[in-house]
Amino acid sequence: QKRPQKRYVCQSCGGVASKWAGQCGDCGEWNTMVEDAGASFTPFQARHNLQSGGRAITMLGLDAKVPLPDRMATGISELDRALGGGFVEGSATLIGGDPGIGKSTLLLQAAAKMALAGKAVAYVSGEEASDQVRLRAQRLGLGQAPVQLAAATSVRDILTTLGEGEAPDLLIIDSIQTMHSDLIEGAPGTVSQVRASAGELIRFAKERGTAVVLVGHVTKDGSIAGPRVMEHMVDTVLSFEGERSHQYRILRAVKNRFGGTDEIGVFAMETEGLSEVGNPSSLFLSDRDEGVTGTIVFPALEGTRPVLVEVQALTVRLASGATPRRSVVGWDNARLSMILAVLEARCGLSFSTCEVYLNIAGGYRVQDPAADLAVAAALVSALSERPLPGDAVAFGEIALSGEVRPVAHAGLRCRESSKLGFERALAPVGKLPEKSELSVSGFRTLAAFVDNLL
Ligand code: TYD
Ligand code: MG
C-alpha cells in the first residue's frame, strides 16, 4: 500500500499545502502550518461514492410546510437578544473569543439559569477540573442550579454517556479545542481534530434535538485551530469581544441561520460574574468632562440598537519635519486617513505637521460608517483648540467630494441621544425625524460644517 502523502494544514484558515512553509499561502498568517493526517480515502473510493451506495434523500418543494424552530430562552436577555430569542433545539452554536474574555463565565451563568428553569443542561469542561468549575459556580451563587457537570475531553466518552439516557436540552462544550475524536489521528486543537470533534457533536445535536454550544478560543499565534475553521459547520456564530482591561463585553452575532446578525448583547464583567447592561450608552459615556477640546458623542448603531460613544481626537504639532504619527484605537485607520485628506483638500485644514491620535472611549470598536462626521468634528476641534458643544451629538457619512451624506436610522439615533439628555444633533441634511426633542443642525458639506464650528 502506498504511504499516505504528508500534508500541512494552516491552523488559522484551514488551507492545505503539500510542503511545510513558514507562511500560509492562503491567508498569509505566519507559523500556522502544521502537519496533518492526510485524506483518508483514495480517488477511486471518492468516485465510487458518487455512483452508488447511498441512501435516497427526501426532496421537497420550496412551498413545503416549515415548522418554526423551537427556541429555548436562556433568561439572560442580552444573550437572548444576540441569539435572536434563545438557543434553537437541535442546533449548534459557536461562541468564539479571546482566552479570559468570559466565555466560560457567560455559559456557566446561562447553564445555571436554564437548569433552574427546568431544562436538562450538561456542561462538559475540557479546560478546568470539574471542582474548579463547581467552585466558580458556587462563588457566583449558582451552586444550587441542577446542571450536570463533568470534566472530559473524549468526544466518544461524552456522546456515549449522553446518548444512553434522555439527551439534554442544552450541551455546553468548553472548549472545542480541548476535545479529542478517536475517529481520526492528530492532537487536540489541530484543524482536523477540531473539525472532527465539532462534526460529531453537531451530528449528535441534529439527531437528538439538543442545542449544542461550542466554546472556541481565538488564538493569534495559530498554536491551536481558531473558531474560523468551524464557522461553516455551525448554525450560529457568536463572538465575545472586549478589552480585557475594560469591564464591558459585547456579544455579537456573526452568523445566525435562525435570526439576524446585527444584534449585540452587552455585559459588564464584575466580581460576581457577568451582569447585563441594558443601557450601554450610559456605560460608554460615564465620566465625561465638558469643555474639553477634541471630543464629541457619536450615536452609533449596533443592529437596531443605538449605542452612544465618545469620539476623542488629539493633535500634537511637530517641531521638526519628522513624519507625523497617526494612531487609531477603536476605529478604522484607513478611514481616518480619508477624513484627514478630505479636511485638507475640501476645507483647507492641514494636519500635515501634526501627529493625530483618535480614540473611541471605553475601548469600544466603531464599525458604523456614520461616525465620519463625529470624527471630523473631533479633529477640527482638536486642531483649532475650540471645544465642541457638550450637549451635541454628531453623525453622518463623509464622501471624498466633501459632501455629508445621510445615514440610516437618523431618527433612532436622535431619539436615543435625546433620551440621554443631549439637545442638539450635528447631522446631514435630509429627511429628519418628525417628532424629535433634539434640535437638528443639518449640513450639506464638510466645509459648511467646519465653517460653523470655527
Ligand atoms: P472566563 O469565563 O474563564 O474566560 P474564558 O472562558 O473566555 O477564557 O473568565 C476569565 C476572566 O474573568 C478571569 O480573568 C477573571 C474574570 N472574572 C471576573 O472578573 N469575575 C468573575 O466573577 C469571574 C467568574 C471571572
Ligand atoms: Mg474558559
Interface predicted TM-score of the whole assembly (ipTM), two decimals: 0.96
Ligand 1 pocket test, pick from 103, 104, 105 with the greatest ligand atom count within 8 Å of Cβ, gives: 105
Full pLDDT tens readout for the chain, 454 residues? 556 678 888 888 888 888 888 898 888 888 888 887 765 566 666 666 665 667 888 888 888 887 777 899 999 999 999 998 999 999 999 999 989 999 999 999 999 999 999 999 999 999 999 999 999 999 999 999 999 999 999 999 999 999 888 999 999 999 999 999 998 888 888 888 999 999 999 999 999 999 999 999 987 766 667 788 889 999 999 999 887 777 888 898 889 998 877 778 889 999 999 999 887 777 667 666 777 899 999 999 877 778 899 999 999 998 877 888 999 999 999 999 999 999 999 999 999 999 999 999 877 888 888 999 999 999 999 999 999 988 899 999 999 999 999 998 888 898 888 877 788 999 999 766 556 678 889 999 999 999 998 8
Question: Which residue has 450615536 as its cell numbers?
Answer: 299
For the chain, how many residues are written?
A: 454
Nearest to 303 by CA among 409, 416, 398, 418: 409
Distance, in Å, from the CA atom of 182 to the CA atom of 241, rounded to the nearest integer, reads 32
For atom 25 of ligand 1, the residue with the nearest CA is: 273
pTM for this model (two decimals): 0.73
Can 71-278 and 283-453 be said to share one CATH topology? no
Distance, in Å, from the CA atom of 429 to the CA atom of 411, rounded to the nearest integer, reads 13
- CA distances to 74, 306, 423 from 359, rounded to whole Å, are 35, 19, 24
CA-based Rg of the chain, rounded to a whole angstrom?
26
- Does 99 carry a binding-site annotation? yes
316 and 285 in contact (C-beta within 8 Å)?
no
CATH fold label, 71-278: Rossmann fold (3.40.50)
- Residues 6+ away with beta carbon under 8 Å from 26: 10, 13, 15
Distance of CA 223 from the midpoint of ligand 2 (Å): 17
Distance of CA 104 from the midpoint of ligand 2 (Å): 4
- Does 104 carry a binding-site annotation? yes
Ligand 1 pocket test, pick from 247, 249, 269 with the greatest ligand atom count within 8 Å of Cβ, gives: 269
Q: What are the sequence ranges of the domains in the chain?
A: 7-47, 71-278, 283-453
Provide the 10 A C-beta neighbour count for residue 235: 22
CATH 3.30.230.10 matches 283-453: yes
